[in-house]
Amino acid sequence: MKDINLNDFEAVIFDLDGSLVDSMWMWKAIDIEYLAGHGIEAPKTLQKDIGGRSFVETARYFKDRFNLSDSIEKIGDDWNKMAWDKYTNEVPLKEGVSKFLDRCMQNGIKLGIASSNSTELINQVLSSHGIKDKFQSVKSGTQVVKGKPAPDIYLTVAEELGAEPSRCLVFEDLVDGIKAAKNAGMTVVAVSDDYSRHSDDVKKELADDYIEDYWGYTE
């Protein structure tokens, strides 16, 4: 693993679900519940099949794969409603995140978020933890056409932060997200998450570092 010095970077960019907040469990539950409402049993490979897709891409995938009559917009709205309460009351920050954010700010490092989730849910979970104002750029899967592993969303955040991609440090929990950040020319720390533990070997191979929590980056 690479010896990463925080002082070498202008910006730190986070994926949201599974990287900044512990929420991946919730999306699996929502997918199962949503499909059950349409009389469909969720395939066991569903989470793997949709990994890395943007919010809009995932809604389109559901519509096509499960032959849903609802519009892509309606599917997304239904997901937002189902997730709203959970993001507000049940989704915690990853261990050590709060202190790490403070360290970045004390060192003048800009902060951004590049998430495949929707803008509404990103803002809701950040606000519920009182950290929304710490991020100078927040981009969602509804604002970028190409989802991860395409580098678009990371490059968009870096541009808005005014940071060179080579001086951006990214925290990601999924293989496609790690590939997206590497494709953007950024340094990547893979974040441990129960949802993606089956791909830990690949994550460690692709990323520059791997962490179980953020405490090692708070000192």
Q: Does 2 score more than 70 pLDDT?
A: no
pLDDT reported for residue 20? 98
Tokens of 143: 């604002």
Q: Which CATH superfamily is domain 6-21+93-217 in?
A: HAD superfamily/HAD-like (3.40.50.1000)
For a pLDDT cut of 90, what percent of the chain falls above it?
77
Q: Does 51 score more than 80 pLDDT?
A: no
pLDDT grade for 15, boundaries at 50, 70 and 90: very high
Q: Does 67 score more than 90 pLDDT?
A: yes
Q: Does 1 score more than 70 pLDDT?
A: no
181 vs 145: which has the higher pLDDT: 181
pLDDT single digits (tens) 110-162? 999 999 888 988 999 999 999 999 999 999 988 877 889 999 999 999 999 99
pLDDT reported for residue 109? 98
Mean per-residue pLDDT over the chain, rounded: 93
Domain ranges of the chain: 6-21+93-217, 25-89
pLDDT reported for residue 106? 96
Q: Does 197 score more than 80 pLDDT?
A: yes
Record the pTM.
0.85
Range in 79-93, 156-170, 178-192 the model is least confident about: 79-93
pLDDT grade for 47, boundaries at 50, 70 and 90: confident
